[in-house]
């Protein structure tokens, strides 16, 4: 698509005036100037078209995108051509635009754009629009480029009271000592000192009793897993609940509390890994209480 700019209208007017003078003076040199104006218009069109050809755009989203929070989206423009550089290419992503002033042939450039997603869910981008006024600012040429980019936007994390999600969240959460060696909780046993044991774990009482250095062995502490039950009927708005759940998933996993999820009759067992957290967030992002029948 081509849009004529203000200077383009002036150029066309100039061409028409000089063309008119050429016909009406019968002067071949004026004809020559009119011809030049026309041919420059044509050639600038060809160059403009060429400028937008053989370009590839890749949109790179960050790993985790939350609704209502600005995410830095990377836009990579690649010139898949042998000789000619690309000039003044503007890539539009919705309302936002990025200008790539100059891109050499067979090279790429990346710029970042803060993007705000209003709601959770899957956002797929199948095309971006690029445009350029090169070589002359008379016409702006537009082109849509196919991109295959999909981003899953997680619900907006919203701070909320824990009871909103689960009545026993508060009651059940907390630290428990587990039957495993660690450095945190009760004494499990006392053993002989091994060089390298920290001084603070030396049990002075036993050392005094036995005359040889003794070291305490302590139990490890583990967080008690939390399961977010979304299926329990509640009065609150679903989106609010999903936001609240997101908040808790983030908060608990950050403090290494295993989190599980019950949603739509499906249960995800608690876990603390990054992949686990992601899978819970993905489910929260795409949750639809009334799925359309296929």
Residues that bind another protein (CB under 8 A): 7, 10, 14, 18-19, 21-40, 42-44, 46-47, 80, 82, 85, 87-88, 99, 101-102, 104, 106-108, 133-137
Residue closer to another protein, measured from CB, 85 or 114: 85
CB of 275 to another protein, least distance (A): 22
- Judge contact between 212 and 202, C-beta under 8 A: no
CB of 8 to another protein, least distance (A): 11
CB of 96 to another protein, least distance (A): 16
* Cβ atoms < 10 Å from Cβ of 126: 11
- Of 25, 5, 177, give the one whose Cα is nearest residue 88: 5
Dist CA 144 CA 76 (whole Å): 15
Residue closer to another protein, measured from CB, 20 or 183: 20
CB of 274 to another protein, least distance (A): 23
Residue closer to another protein, measured from CB, 106 or 274: 106
CB of 32 to another protein, least distance (A): 6
Residue closer to another protein, measured from CB, 105 or 181: 105
- Judge contact between 41 and 11, C-beta under 8 A: yes
- Rg (C-alpha) for the chain, rounded Å, is 33
Dist CA 117 CA 61 (whole Å): 12
Using CA atoms, how far residue 30 sits from 6, 10, 40, 125, 132, in Å, is: 25, 18, 15, 51, 31
Residue closer to another protein, measured from CB, 51 or 246: 51
């Amino acid at each position: 698509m081509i849009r004529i700019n203000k200077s383009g209208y002036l150029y066309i007017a100039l061409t028409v005036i000089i063309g008119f003078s050429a016909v009406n003076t019968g002067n071949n040199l004026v004809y020559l100037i009119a011809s030049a104006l026309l041919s420059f218009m044509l050639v600038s069109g060809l160059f403009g078209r060429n400028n937008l050809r053989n370009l590839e755009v890749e949109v790179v989203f960050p790993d985790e995108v939350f609704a209502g929070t600005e995410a830095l989206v990377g836009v990579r423009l690649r010139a898949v051509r042998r000789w000619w550089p690309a000039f003044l290419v503007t890539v539009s992503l919705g309302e936002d635009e990025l200008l790539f002033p100059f891109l050499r042939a067979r090279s790429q450039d990346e710029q970042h754009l803060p993007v705000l997603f209003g709601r959770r869910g899957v956002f797929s981008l199948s095309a971006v629009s690029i445009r350029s006024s090169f070589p002359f600012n008379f016409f702006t040429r537009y082109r849509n480029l196919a991109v295959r980019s999909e981003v899953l936007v997680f619900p907006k994390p919203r701070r909320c009271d824990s009871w909103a999600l689960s009545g026993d969240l508060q009651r059940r959460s907390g630290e428990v000592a587990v039957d495993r060696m660690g450095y945190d909780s009760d004494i499990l046993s006392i053993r002989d000192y091994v060089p390298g044991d920290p001084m603070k774990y030396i049990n002075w009482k036993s050392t005094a009793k036995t005359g040889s250095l003794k070291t305490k062995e302590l139990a490890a502490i583990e967080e008690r897993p939390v399961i977010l039950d979304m299926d329990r009927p509640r009065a609150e708005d679903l989106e609010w609940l999903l936001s609240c759940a997101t908040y808790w998933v983030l908060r608990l996993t950050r403090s290494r509390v295993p989190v599980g999820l019950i949603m739509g009759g499906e249960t995800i067992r608690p876990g603390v890994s990054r992949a686990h957290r992601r899978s819970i967030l993905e489910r929260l992002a795409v949750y639809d209480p009334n799925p359309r029948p296929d």
